[in-house]
Amino acid sequence: MAENAALAKVAGGADSQEESFTQTERLSFAKEFLTRMRRGFATADKFLQNASPATKSGGSSAQNILPEGEQLLFEVYLPRRLKLDNLIFGRVKGQRIALSLKDFVAALDLPITMNMQTQTAQGWYIRENKLFDFNLNTKIARSDLGEFTISESVFSEDEDIFVPVDELARWFDFKIEVLASSLQMVIKPSQDLPLQERLERERKLAGKGNSREPQLPLRPEPRQLIDVPFVNVATSSRYNREGDSNQSNTRHTASVSTAGDFAYGTLSTQTQLNDKDQISNIWMNYKQESPDPNLLGPLKAKRFEIGDVIQPRLPIDAQVRRELGARISNVDPLRNYTNPSTAITGRAFSGWDVELYRGNQFLGYQRIGDDGFYAFNDVILFGTENIFRVVFYGPQGEIREEEVSIPVDISRIAEGGSVYDVSLTFDNKQTYRKFDFNDEDEGSPALLALYEKPIAPGTVGSLGLRSSEQNGERNNVAYGGVSTLLGETLVNANLSLDDEADFASELVARRNIGSHDLYTTVRYFSDNYDTINGGNDTAGFLNARINANGALPIGLGHRPNYTASASYNLTNEGNSTTDTSLGFNTAYKNFTFNEQLNYTTTNTGADDRLNNTTSITGVFAGDRVRLLSDYQIKPDNKLSRVVASYNHDFTRDLEMDIELERRIDPSITEASAQLNWQAGWARISPSIRYNTENDFFAGLNTNFGFARDPQGSGIKMFDRNITGNGAMSVFVFLDVNGDGQFNQGDEPLKDVSVRALQNGGRQVTDENGLAFFYQVQELRRTDIILEEESLKDPYWISGFDGVSILPREGYVAELQYPVHIAGEMDGTLFARKNSGKPVALRNIPIHLYNGDGEIEKTAITDIGGFYLFDRVPPGRYLLVVDQKAAGSNNFARPKPEPIEIGYEGTIIYGHDVYVDAGEKDIPSTVLAGLQDYKSRHPHIDFEQANYNIALNLGEYNSQLLMSTVWYRLHTRYRQILSGGQLMVLPEHSYADVKTGKHTLRVGFLGGDIDDAYNRCQALIAREISCTVEVLPAAAKKLAMGEKPRG
């Protein structure tokens, strides 16, 4: 409990006075709480000591040896451990456990209505054709299974009907297991209940975890005119000695990368230096990006960039390049609707290795060259999410992994409007390069353009253009294509034609069958087509390929998958090549296994080739291991290469990498060792390498980055690469006065966990209350939440629900999370009768509504009518007994009651609530607004009249009926409805699309809650439908203890 919590003693209703308590009195309250808990444990122990063996084992509990009249309260589960919110009350009668029929119906959300005056129940279950009819007077119960005689063990008590477990199970064709040891009940319907299906859908959505779509509101992040950029520096010093020749050399290089806001965009640079040439290369890129098409005025671009840009990818031609120029596009960079393949590109440090995976399936490997640019071209896209992993391996043993998702959203083809992507670049040019290529085409302009437009439902047409110079000759190629859905198959047909009438064509089909993805393509390139080696005397070819991957229905490891492909290539000169491959990957315990078999055969007389590659990675005894082998089966049966690596952590900041590689032809063995020290401000890695040719290498690599924390103390240093990503600075503090600002008396909170759900992971606040996320992928929106379970005081809660952020490269988003002290409130719900003592009511929901008309907390009364609201955020609320429960239990509720929880941690105990049994309830509800009602009446200006309270006078099938009823009401009961205004006139009303009905709603600018109840009560007495609706404006005033008058 919060140390500075205040306790408010409320002995009666809202008129009770708050008191201040001493520490002794607080301890007394704690003892009282423990006493209550002991009573509950004693009841459970008594039950367990007397439970029969059959009950303890989880069997049917129709018979037992529990004491007569014992009261039980069961938690309820459906199959697949779906836990229900409601509890079911049971009583022991004649050595049988009988369950409350009222609770049973409420817990399973069955549309069955009970009438205690006539001792009957009617409705349906599972589906509308399964009817249920119960009559205790005639001793007959009917269900979809037939007619049953109600036994003498069924009884009526306390405005409820109790039915033995086995009888309920027979009536509804359910299996009901009572787990006595834990006071739990498992109900297994013969067919999934609607409630069960809904809960399963919700659990699947929640089970997506980090991959689910962001739910919190997106906060805009304005761009800055200029800001301190992220900076990353990598240095390398190397010594090489070649064999026994004693020839040696040294080399010193450095790479400096920056990224940050500049001129309301993002400016990124990369500079390479060495001891020989000083500055050898510079790349610069300036870009502006937006999730909405609102850039460059009428061009409606989502992205434009100048400097060193990556060209757009055109159909058929798979290659992309990075050149000096400009690019403009309104294409969503995170989604792909039509292209059958893509290029996965990016920037990293030269000398790094990069691998591409689809899940655990290895797709390709590259070593990043001096330009720091990598490109995996012509990567197949199946008609699914297409989630790739790009894994980077640095020369210092760094391992960095990024997730790239390129969904092919078949269902949204042709829904997004037209898109374009245009670049104008200069061949082989970059911002600065010390040495030119001396190529005759260098510097010549290259224009690439792509335009896509929906032309029919599920069909998109595309046009493209490429104009570039090769071998001193201008080549122009035009493209056209169509993407369409044929049933559940996505088909792409593309054709390109150059300025000499040479052409290329492509037909691609993609389909998903269960967990299997299929991809097939046929391509034909004619002789001298311009994009093949400049089109000069080149032979055309025909290529056909089929790919498949998916889950294997075998229990071999965790999520075993396969990949298979076959490719046939025939040149116009008659040479053919056939390539087939079969791959398998799975995970077992801490290891991932990849197996790949490749077979190539030709008609040119060359030997057939059959190769096998095996890769095993994982963790053994806390150390990371990796094993790779290449084995040639044909033409020679021999081992080609084996690589084994071992990584051991000496401490959290110091690790060692050892690698041994053995090549068979030529025969050479090489060993390397490296230490990696994460110094906090830099990563420092000395390494050595030696082989059997007596080649020797020694090197020292360093890597560090720095960025400004706008909420912290200046510059933060990092021992890893930070450019290329966004960042977030989160400040968490105890907000004592609740103003949401850090000021005098507030306290920074240490060791609080903050999570970026979809992108960024988890960080913990330091002694200054700051958590810094430094590897957040750009343009991948993510929710940011504070994990309340990490707060040290159980009564501390977050005063901010969080937001979602769209990160951008080189920018630090600032967030503040005030933490408040929660309050608590308890009491007992009683039903007053005309005579006799008030009776406690069990299993009745009670709600706390906040000032926006939304339910903040819900408590359900226990066997003794006790309710508890714990961890209630500071604020003003309305205490409301559940309307549905009032109808089913035949009592009248009190009016909404204002409750206030202060920022010092108010505790309200003993706040009893009384309802009137047998009285007619005045239907009332607190609304969070009338958004649905307003949205279906856009022609009505609701802002002119900000209503406090409304009377809902029913729903009607037509405007005519609504008009007739309103005419009768306001002519006959003019006095009752005086001062009210129809919110929507009958002739202007639109029906609810779900129900097809029109709502007759009368709003009141003046009046108060008492006035509204009196009006409604008068109408109900005349058998007219009426519900009091408390709108947000009134809810806020009522919670503050004010009368919501106009």
The single-letter DSSP state of residue 834 is: S
Which range has the worst mean pLDDT, 315-324, 408-417, 599-608, 927-936? 408-417
> Would the pLDDT of 570 be above 60?
yes
Residue 913 and residue 928 in one domain: no
The single-letter DSSP state of residue 195 is: H
Distance between CA atoms of residues 711 and 722, nearest Å: 18
Q: Residues 26-39: pLDDT tens digits?
A: 444 554 554 455 44
Stretch (H or E) spanning 630: strand 623-634
SS (H, E, C) 77-139: EEHHHEEEEEEEEEEEECCEEEEEHHHHHHHCCCCEEEECCCCEEEEEECEEEEEEEEECCCC
Distance between CA atoms of residues 265 and 289, nearest Å: 8
Q: Kindly tell me the burial class for residue 127, based on how many C-beta atoms sit within 10 Å of its own C-beta (0-12, 13-18, 19 or more).
A: exposed
> What does the pLDDT average to over 562-583?
93
Residue where a domain terminates, one of 892, 917, 942: 917
What's the pLDDT at 412?
A: 52
Contact indicator for 48, 57 with CB cutoff of 8 Å:
no
What's the pLDDT at 394?
A: 67
Distance between CA atoms of residues 156 and 134, nearest Å: 13
Is 250 among the domain residues? no
For 413, the 3-state DSSP assignment is: coil
Q: Residues 181-235: pLDDT tens digits?
A: 678 899 999 888 888 877 766 665 454 444 468 889 999 999 999 999 999 999 9
In terms of Cα–Cα distance, which of 996, 856, 980, 1019 is closest to 926?
A: 856
Tell me the DSSP string of 363-378.
Answer: EEEEE--TT-EEEEEE
> What does the pLDDT average to over 939-949?
77
Is 288 among the domain residues? no
Interior/surface letters 906-921, b for 16+ CB within 10 angstroms, e for the rest? bbbbebbbbbbbebeb
Contact indicator for 376, 544 with CB cutoff of 8 Å:
no
For 53, the 3-state DSSP assignment is: helix
Residue 910 and residue 1026 in one domain: no
CB under 8 Å to 223, separation ≥6 — which residues?
Answer: 261, 264, 265, 288, 811
Q: How confident is the model at residue 1042 (pLDDT cuts 50, 70, 90)?
A: low
Q: Residues 1002-1032: pLDDT tens digits?
A: 988 766 788 899 999 999 999 999 999 988 7
Q: How confident is the model at residue 556 (pLDDT cuts 50, 70, 90)?
A: confident
Structure tokens that stand for 932 in this block: 């649905």
Q: Residues 644-676: pLDDT tens digits?
A: 999 999 998 899 999 999 998 889 999 999 999
In terms of Cα–Cα distance, which of 391, 315, 378 is closest to 343?
A: 378
Is 670 among the domain residues? no
Residue where a domain terminates, one of 207, 226, 258: 207
Is 116 among the domain residues? yes
Q: 833 forms bridges with which residues in the sheet? A: none
> Would the pLDDT of 153 be above 60?
yes
What's the pLDDT at 933?
A: 85
Structure tokens that stand for 951 in this block: 């009377």
Distance between CA atoms of residues 506 and 492, nearest Å: 8
Q: How confident is the model at residue 335 (pLDDT cuts 50, 70, 90)?
A: low
Tell me the DSSP string of 224-273.
Answer: PSB-PPEEEEEEEEEEEEETTTTEEEEEEEEEEEEEEEETTEEEEEEEEE
Strands 747-748 and 753-756: unpaired
What's the pLDDT at 1015?
A: 92
Contact indicator for 183, 72 with CB cutoff of 8 Å:
yes
> What does the pLDDT average to over 606-631?
91
Residue 89 and residue 170 in one domain: yes
Distance between CA atoms of residues 146 and 140, nearest Å: 11
Q: Residues 497-516: pLDDT tens digits?
A: 998 889 999 999 988 888 88
Residue 100 and residue 164 in one domain: yes
State the sign of the Cα–Cα–Cα–Cα dihedral 645, 563, 347, 408.
negative
Report whether the peptide linkage leading into residue 635 is cis, meaning its omega lies within 30 degrees of zero: yes
What's the CATH number where 735 sits? Answer: 2.60.40.2610
Distance between CA atoms of residues 104 and 189, nearest Å: 13
Q: How confident is the model at residue 450 (pLDDT cuts 50, 70, 90)?
A: very high
If you search the block for the tokens 């609530």, which residue do you land on? Answer: 913
Distance between CA atoms of residues 891 and 830, nearest Å: 11
What's the pLDDT at 507?
A: 94
Distances (CA, A) of 155 to 94, 116, 132, 844, 886: 11, 12, 18, 21, 22
Residue 777 and residue 793 in one domain: yes
Q: Count CB atoms within 10 A of the CB of residue 34.
A: 10
Residue 180 and residue 202 in one domain: yes
Residue 883 and residue 754 in one domain: no
What's the CATH number where 863 sits? Answer: 2.60.40.10
Adjacency order of strands within the sheet including 399-405: 361-367, 353-358, 387-393, 399-405
What's the CATH number where 941 sits? Answer: 3.30.70.1070
What's the pLDDT at 928?
A: 72
Stretch (H or E) spanning 671: strand 668-678
Residue 804 and residue 828 in one domain: no
Contact indicator for 111, 193 with CB cutoff of 8 Å:
no
Phi, psi of 1035 (to 5 degrees): -60, -40
Q: Which stretches does DSSP call E strand in 349-443?
A: 353-358, 361-367, 373-380, 387-393, 399-405, 419-426, 432-433
Residue where a domain terminates, one of 864, 883, 917: 917
For 321, the 3-state DSSP assignment is: coil
Please give the model's pTM, rounded to 2 decimal places. Answer: 0.70
Tell me the DSSP string of 474-529.
Answer: EEEEEEEEEEEEETTEEEEEEEEEETTS-EEEEEEEEEEETTEEEEEEEEEE-TT-
CB under 8 Å to 465, separation ≥6 — which residues?
Answer: 447, 448, 449, 476, 477, 478, 479
Distance between CA atoms of residues 788 and 768, nearest Å: 18
> Would the pLDDT of 718 be above 70?
yes
Strands 489-498 and 503-513: antiparallel
What's the pLDDT at 633?
A: 93
Determine the residue type at 291.
P
User: What is the domain count for the chain?
Assistant: 5
For 328, the 3-state DSSP assignment is: strand
Distance between CA atoms of residues 893 and 883, nearest Å: 8
Please, what is the average pLDDT of the chain? Answer: 84
Is 731 among the domain residues? yes
CB under 8 Å to 863, separation ≥6 — which residues?
Answer: 71, 73, 89, 842
Residue 667: CA atoms inside 13 Å, Cβ hemisphere, count? 1
Adjacency order of strands within the sheet including 127-135: 112-115, 120-125, 127-135, 140-143, 146-149
Phi, psi of 940 (to 5 degrees): -105, 130
Residue 768: CA atoms inside 13 Å, Cβ hemisphere, count? 10
Structure tokens that stand for 751 in this block: 């060791």
Stretch (H or E) spanning 619: strand 609-620
Is 376 among the domain residues? no
Which range has the worst mean pLDDT, 255-264, 379-388, 410-419? 410-419
For 404, the 3-state DSSP assignment is: strand
| Cα three-residue angle 318-323-325, rounded to 5 degrees | 115
Residue 812 and residue 778 in one domain: yes
Q: Kindly tell me the burial class for residue 523, based on how many C-beta atoms sit within 10 Å of its own C-beta (0-12, 13-18, 19 or more).
A: middle
Which range has the worst mean pLDDT, 306-310, 323-327, 529-533, 680-684? 529-533
State the sign of the Cα–Cα–Cα–Cα dihedral 313, 314, 320, 322.
negative
C-alpha dihedral, 348 to 349 to 350 to 351, nearest 10°:
-110
Structure tokens that stand for 646 in this block: 């071992």
Q: How confident is the model at residue 713 (pLDDT cuts 50, 70, 90)?
A: confident
Residue 663: CA atoms inside 13 Å, Cβ hemisphere, count? 9
What's the pLDDT at 8?
A: 42
Q: Residues 946-987: pLDDT tens digits?
A: 788 899 999 999 999 999 999 999 899 999 999 888 999 999
Residue 805 and residue 886 in one domain: no
Residue 858 and residue 931 in one domain: no
Tell me the DSSP string of 688-729.
Answer: EEEETT--EEEEEEEEEEEEE-TTSSSEEEESS--TTEEEEE
Residue 154 and residue 57 in one domain: yes
Is 877 among the domain residues? yes
State the sign of the Cα–Cα–Cα–Cα dihedral 1025, 1031, 1034, 1040.
positive
Distance between CA atoms of residues 993 and 236, nearest Å: 67
Which range has the worst mean pLDDT, 52-56, 553-557, 769-773, 787-791? 52-56
Distance between CA atoms of residues 16 and 10, nearest Å: 5
> What does the pLDDT average to over 374-382?
72
Is 441 among the domain residues? no
Q: Which domain, by its residues, includes 895?
A: 823-917
Distance between CA atoms of residues 159 and 116, nearest Å: 6
What's the pLDDT at 52?
A: 39
